[in-house]
Amino acid sequence: MTITKSNRINEIRANLLLSDGTTVQSRSSDIIVNGSNVGFSLDISGIELAEAESIRAQIIKAIQETTDFEKISVVLTSTRKNQSASNEKAKIQIEGVGKVLLVASGKGGVGKSMIASLLAHKLKADGKKVGIVDADIYGPSIPHLFSLKGKPELDDNKMVPLENYGIVVNSIGFLTEPSASISWRGPMVSKAIYQLLSLTNWGKLDYLIIDSPPGTGDIHLSILQNYIIDQVIMVTTPQKISEIDVSRAVSLYKKFNVPILGVIENMSYYVIPKTGESISIFTGDGGNKIASDHNLDLLTKLPIDPRISIACDAGADLSQFSYLLDTIKLP
């Protein structure tokens, strides 16, 4: 990069003020150049997202008008501080996304993907613009739940998410064969998560829902260390073994100071169609126990409903069941 280009970009950054009186230059990282591409990060801690995106657009426009770079990237980051980590590293604000909700458990087979899908349908019914990203790299199921297949197209080197039922979706399942076994180690997984979250053109969304995998491994750490998560919803079933695994996951998210909205207990009971009587299929009281032990809200208890299972298997529209989450108040 020539001195002229470097000086011009720094001049632009020095002359743009944010609402708190700081300059873009004082909040920016070093400039990185890769051939005809240039980029830097901008820390937007304490700044409203709408203002930050407006400033980013001004920066890109000014650089485009005065340099010959083909691609200009300004990554918005934010630092959330706590009592024990005053120097916590800046985290990425996903471009165009208002709030990020993560559905987690630590336990497999509890219905995270189904609940993430129901949540997307509920928000869509409430008039929100919603996207969902399938972060279960090793076992993606969101493509099937939304009856979607095919590879995303590229627009300005970003993936364009597929869409069905008015909800935009991206998943590693769109990029691999359905029967393919994915055996990636940590660095590859982190790169895949970055591509799904940051290299997807989400447009303007009120909410992006992340459907997380079981466990508390590399995928979770990659998301928690690098991205701003507004709320986590924990999913359990009544059994003790689920309670144990979910409690481990709660501890992980609390360690990273991510707000937990509360707990959903799935498969809590079955309603006999002829009598309307509710009966417990599984032993235990996992939802209440986790909520009590970790000072969380029990958001709701969901039944075992064969109709939902049939709809999920068929990739059908789940909006008819979104009422099950009506009692949950989202930020």
Binding residues for ATP, as ranges, are 106-113
Residue 122 corresponds to which amino acid?
Answer: K
What is the C-alpha separation between 176 and 174, in angstroms, rounded? 6
Residue 233 corresponds to which amino acid?
Answer: I
| Count of beta carbons in the 10 Å neighbourhood of residue 330 | 18
Q: Which residues are annotated as a binding site?
A: 106-113
**Beta strand extents in the chain (DSSP E only):** 32-34, 37-43, 71-78, 91-92, 97-104, 130-134, 154-155, 158-159, 162-164, 167-171, 205-211, 231-236, 260-265, 270-271, 278-279, 298-301
What is the C-alpha separation between 39 and 132, in angstroms, rounded? 27
Among 215, 234, 236, residue whose Cα is nearest residue 287: 236
The answer to whether 137 and 184 are in contact (CB under 8 A) is yes
Tokens at 158, concatenated: 């970003």
Measured in residues, the chain has a length of: 331
- Beta strands 71-78 and 37-43: pairing type? parallel
The answer to whether 219 and 105 are in contact (CB under 8 A) is no
State the virtual CA torsion across 124, 136, 199, 1 in degrees, nearest 10: 150
Helix H, strand E, coil C: the string for 225-294 is HHECCCEEEEEECCCHHHHHHHHHHHHHHHHCCCCEEEEEECCCCEECCCCCCEECCCCCCHHHHHHHHC
